[in-house]
C-alpha cells in the first residue's frame, strides 16, 4: 500500500506549493513555479488562449513525489514541435484532434525536464498517469515536447512514440575567452566573425547587459515595443501579454539577462535571455532601428560572451535559423514524445516518425559540415 500513487490535476500552478514543485525540478528556469505562475498571472495562458493549465501531480503516502507542467490544448500554436499536418490528416479522416494534452512550457522551445521527479520509477509513473488522464478526459492524445534525452528513452519504454527534430546550440568546449572560441574556427570564418562584430558594435551607441536589480520597469516598456513588433511579424500577434514582463520583473529578474542596445541613451534593440544553472536560453528579440549585424551581435555573440564569462556549458538560441551555423552554433537533436488513443492513427504516426528520425539523423550529420570550425581540429 505504501507504493500506491494518487493522481491529481490542477487548473492553476498556484494549487501546488512553490517549494514542493521546485523541489522536484533541476533549476531550469522555465519549469520553475515562478515562470509558470507568471504565464498564468499575466493571462498569457488560461481561458481564451487555447492553453488551459492542467498540471499533474502524483502523491505517495501524502507526499507529492512527481509533477508535470501540463496543458489542455485547443490548437497547435506556440509549441514549436509541429503537428499541424497530423491534426489536419486526423480531422479529414473524421477524427477529433482537439483537445489534446501537452506536457511542455508554453511558447518556449527550450529543452528541459518535463517529468519532475527524483527517480525514474516516479518519472515512468508520470507517463502512465498521463496516458490514463488522456483516456479519462477523452482527448485525442498526449505530447511531451522538448523533453530530455533520458526522458525520451523512458517514454519509448512506456509506449510513447519518440520524435527527433533539431535546433542550433552553441557548445562551450572549455573556452576561456571569445578569442579562444575564435581560435577553434577556420581562418576565414574567424576573420568574418571579427568583422561582423566590429560592424555591429560600431552602430554608434552602446550595448549593456542588464540582470537582477539592474533591470528596471522602464527597460520592459522599451522591450515590450520590440517584442510587439517581432511578434506581429512572426506570429500575427504576440503570445505574451505586457503583464508577463512586469511579473517576471518581480519574481525572476535574477534569472534573466537583457542585452540592450542604446543610441544616445535611448533603447533601440534588445535580446532577452533566461539563465539556467548551466545554460543561456535566448528567447526574444526586437528593435526599433535597423543596424547591420546588430541582431546577430545581441542574440548570438553577446550570449556566447556571457556563457564563457560565467562558465556555462551552452547557449540555446531558440527555434530554427540556419544562419546560426556560421556563428558557431551546431545542430543538435531535440526530443519529444507522442501518444494517441486511436490505434490506427498511432500506427500511422509510428511509421512516419521512424522515417523522420532517420532523415533527421542524416540532416544533423550533414549540417556539421557547415559549421565554421577547423576541419579535423
- pLDDT at residue 234, as a whole number: 59
Each residue's pLDDT, cut to its tens digit, for the chain (377 residues) gives: 357 999 999 999 999 999 999 999 999 999 999 999 999 999 999 999 999 999 999 999 999 999 999 999 999 999 999 999 999 999 999 999 999 999 999 999 999 999 999 999 999 999 999 999 999 999 999 999 999 999 999 999 999 999 999 999 999 999 999 999 999 999 999 999 999 999 999 999 999 999 999 999 999 999 999 998 775 665 567 899 999 999 999 999 999 999 999 999 999 999 999 999 999 999 999 999 999 999 999 999 999 999 999 999 999 998 888 999 999 999 999 999 999 999 999 999 999 999 999 999 999 999 999 999 998 64
How would DSSP label each residue in 204-233?
A: SSEEEEE-GGG--HHHHHHHHHHHHHHHHH
319 part of a folded domain: no
Same domain membership, residue 162 and residue 35 = yes
Q: Is the dihedral of CA 112, 118, 124, 128 positive or negative?
A: negative
Domain containing 25 equals 5-166+332-370
Please report whether residue 376 resides in a domain.
no
- Residue 77 belongs to some domain of the structure: yes
293 and 192 housed in the same domain: yes
pLDDT attached to residue 231: 59
> Distance between CA atoms of 106 and 108, rounded to whole angstroms?
5
Are 232 and 145 in the same domain? no
pLDDT for residue 337: 98
* Contact of 290 with 241, CB cutoff 8 Å: no
Please give the pLDDT value at position 237.
Answer: 73
Residue from 338, 316, 293 nearest 142 by CA: 338
CATH of the domain at 103: 3.40.630.30
Distances from the Cα of 293 to the Cα of 54, 200, 287, angstroms: 42, 5, 12
Using CA atoms, how far apart are residues 169 and 312, in angstroms rounded to an integer? 12
| Residue 324 covered by a domain | no
pLDDT of res. 198: 98
Q: Supply the pLDDT for residue 318.
A: 86
**Residue 330 host element (H or E):** strand 330-340
Residue 162 and residue 152 in contact, taking contact as beta carbons nearer than 8 Å: yes
Determine the 3-state secondary structure of 140 from DSSP: coil
In this structure, the answer to whether residues 28 and 148 fall within a common structural domain is yes
**Whether residue 131 is found in the same domain as residue 161:** yes
The helix or strand, by DSSP H or E, that contains position 73, with its residue range, turns out to be strand 70-73
d(CA 17, CA 47): 22
What pLDDT score was predicted for residue 321? 87
Provide φ and ψ at 292, rounded to 5°. -55, 125
How many residues are given for the chain? 377
Answer yes or no: do 264 and 349 share one domain.
Answer: no
CB 157: neighbour CB atoms within 10 A? Answer: 11
- 177 and 297 share one domain: yes
Question: Residue 124 has which C-alpha cell?
Answer: 515512468
Taking only the tens place, the pLDDT of each residue in 48-103 is 999 999 999 999 999 999 999 999 999 999 999 999 999 999 999 999 999 999 99
Mark whether 151 and 211 lie in a shared domain.
no
Count of CB atoms situated within 10 Å of the CB of 351: 10
Measured CA to CA, the distance from residue 363 to residue 152 in angstroms comes to 20
Distance, CA of 371 to CA of 331 (rounded, Å): 9
Cβ contact 128:139 at 8 Å = no
Q: Would you call 35 exposed, middle or buried from its count of C-beta atoms within 10 A (0-12, 13-18, 19+)?
A: buried
Q: How many domains does the chain have?
A: 2
Amino acid 1: pLDDT: 37
The C-alpha cell of 284 is what? Answer: 526574444
> Is 130 part of any domain?
yes
The sheet that has 116-117: what strands, in order across it? 5-10, 55-60, 63-68, 116-117
Same domain, 81 and 154: yes
Q: Are residues 44 and 160 part of one domain?
A: yes
* pLDDT confidence of residue 238: 84
Amino acid at each position: 500500500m505504501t507504493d500506491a500513487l494518487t493522481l491529481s490535476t490542477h487548473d492553476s500552478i498556484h494549487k501546488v506549493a512553490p517549494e514542493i514543485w521546485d523541489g522536484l525540478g533541476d533549476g531550469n528556469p522555465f519549469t520553475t513555479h515562478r515562470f509558470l505562475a507568471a504565464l498564468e498571472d499575466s493571462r498569457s495562458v488560461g481561458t481564451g488562449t487555447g492553453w488551459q493549465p492542467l498540471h499533474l501531480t502524483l502523491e505517495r503516502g501524502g507526499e507529492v513525489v512527481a509533477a508535470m507542467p501540463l496543458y489542455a490544448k485547443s490548437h497547435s500554436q506556440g509549441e514549436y514541435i509541429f503537428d499541424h499536418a497530423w491534426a489536419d490528416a486526423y480531422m479529414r479522416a473524421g477524427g477529433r484532434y482537439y483537445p489534446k494534452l501537452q506536457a511542455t512550457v508554453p511558447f518556449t522551445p527550450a529543452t528541459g525536464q518535463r517529468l519532475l521527479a527524483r527517480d525514474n520509477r516516479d518519472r515512468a509513473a508520470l507517463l502512465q498517469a498521463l496516458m490514463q488522464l488522456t483516456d479519462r478526459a477523452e482527448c485525442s492524445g498526449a505530447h511531451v515536447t522538448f523533453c530530455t534525452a533520458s526522458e525520451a528513452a523512458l517514454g519509448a519504454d512506456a509506449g510513447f512514440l519518440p520524435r527527433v527534430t533539431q535546433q542550433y546550440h552553441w557548445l562551450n568546449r572549455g573556452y576561456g575567452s571569445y578569442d579562444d572560441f575564435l581560435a577553434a574556427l577556420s581562418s576565414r570564418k574567424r576573420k568574418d566573425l571579427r568583422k561582423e562584430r566590429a560592424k555591429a558594435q560600431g552602430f554608434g551607441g552602446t550595448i549593456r547587459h542588464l540582470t537582477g536589480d539592474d533591470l528596471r520597469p522602464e527597460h520592459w516598456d522599451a522591450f515590450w515595443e520590440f517584442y510587439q513588433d517581432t511578434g506581429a511579424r512572426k506570429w500575427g500577434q504576440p503570445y505574451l501579454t505586457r503583464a508577463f514582463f512586469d511579473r517576471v520583473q518581480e519574481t525572476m529578474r535574477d534569472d534573466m539577462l537583457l542585452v540592450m542596445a542604446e543610441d544616445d541613451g535611448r533603447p533601440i534593440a534588445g535580446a532577452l535571455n533566461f539563465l539556467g544553472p548551466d545554460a543561456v536560453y535566448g528567447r526574444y528579440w526586437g528593435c526599433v532601428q535597423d543596424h547591420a549585424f546588430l541582431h546577430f551581435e545581441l542574440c548570438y555573440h553577446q550570449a556566447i560572451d556571457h556563457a564563457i564569462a560565467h562558465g556555462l556549458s551552452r547557449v540555446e538560441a531558440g527555434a530554427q535559423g540556419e544562419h546560426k551555423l556560421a556563428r558557431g552554433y551546431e545542430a543538435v537533436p531535440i526530443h519529444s514524445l507522442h501518444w494517441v488513443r486511436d490505434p490506427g492513427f498511432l500506427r500511422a504516426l509510428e511509421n512516419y516518425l521512424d522515417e523522420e528520425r532517420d532523415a533527421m539523423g542524416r540532416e544533423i550529420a550533414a549540417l556539421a559540415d557547415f559549421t565554421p570550425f577547423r576541419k579535423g581540429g
